């Protein structure tokens, strides 16, 4: 898997290659009931090189966003694959669970195919943080257990020899 960052004209500011993939805890894809494990349908991908700068890496919140919170979706979508698109007028509408009881969050963000895995951002005390990760169902996001995810990021950073 190749990861490209910072598209400008016909060039990229950085390129990394995936060297390890870890899926969400308990994930098992069921093609007959794909939403059964939606709460763990995500992956953490380790890259062979560090991309970005410390001041451009967003922290992850340690709790789910509250119902009514204003959030923002930013991601690369199929209709504009080389341009970062954002829906700045999103709101958390409620919560739900997948077939295994993992939490999901309902939201009203707009996004097209390809935005799966993008962060849903929340502003707290003047700083942007990653609240949850987007998924494909039109009215749900699949929140990552943010404490587990943060711990895995720290572990990946140590494993690869750099800090996130």
* Tally of CA atoms within 13 A in the half-sphere of 101 that contains its CB: 0
- The range of the structural domain enclosing residue 104 comes to 2-160
Question: Tell me: the pLDDT tens digits for 138-162?
Answer: 455 555 555 556 666 666 656 655 4
Stated as kind and residue range, the H or E segment containing 87 is strand 80-97
> Strand, helix or coil at 30?
coil
pTM for the structure as a whole: 0.74
Instruction: Point out which residues pair with 60 in neighbouring strands.
Output: 130
Q: What CATH number corresponds to the domain at position 23?
A: 2.40.10.10
Asked whether 140 and 133 are in contact (CB, 8 A), the reply is no
The pLDDT-based confidence of 94 (bands split at 50, 70, 90) is confident
Query: How many separate domains does the chain show?
Result: 1
Question: Tell me: the pLDDT tens digits for 114-131?
Answer: 777 788 889 999 998 888
């Amino acid at each position: 898997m190749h990861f490209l960052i910072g598209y400008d004209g016909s060039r990229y500011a950085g390129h990394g290659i995936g060297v390890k993939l870890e899926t969400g805890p308990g994930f098992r894809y069921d093609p007959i009931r794909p939403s059964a494990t939606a709460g763990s349908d995500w992956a953490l991908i380790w890259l062979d090189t560090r991309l970005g700068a410390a001041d451009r890496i967003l922290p992850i919140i340690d709790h789910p966003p509250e119902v009514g919170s204003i959030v923002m979706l930013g991601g690369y979508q199929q209709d504009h694959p080389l341009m970062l698109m954002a829906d700045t007028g999103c709101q958390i509408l409620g919560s739900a669970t997948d077939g295994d009881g993992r939490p999901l969050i309902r939201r009203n963000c707009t996004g097209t195919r390809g935005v799966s895995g993008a962060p849903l951002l929340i502003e707290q005390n003047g700083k942007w943080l990653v609240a949850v990760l987007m998924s494909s169902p039109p009215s749900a996001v699949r929140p990552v257990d943010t404490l587990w995810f943060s711990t895995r990021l720290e572990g990946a950073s140590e494993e690869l020899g750099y800090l996130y």
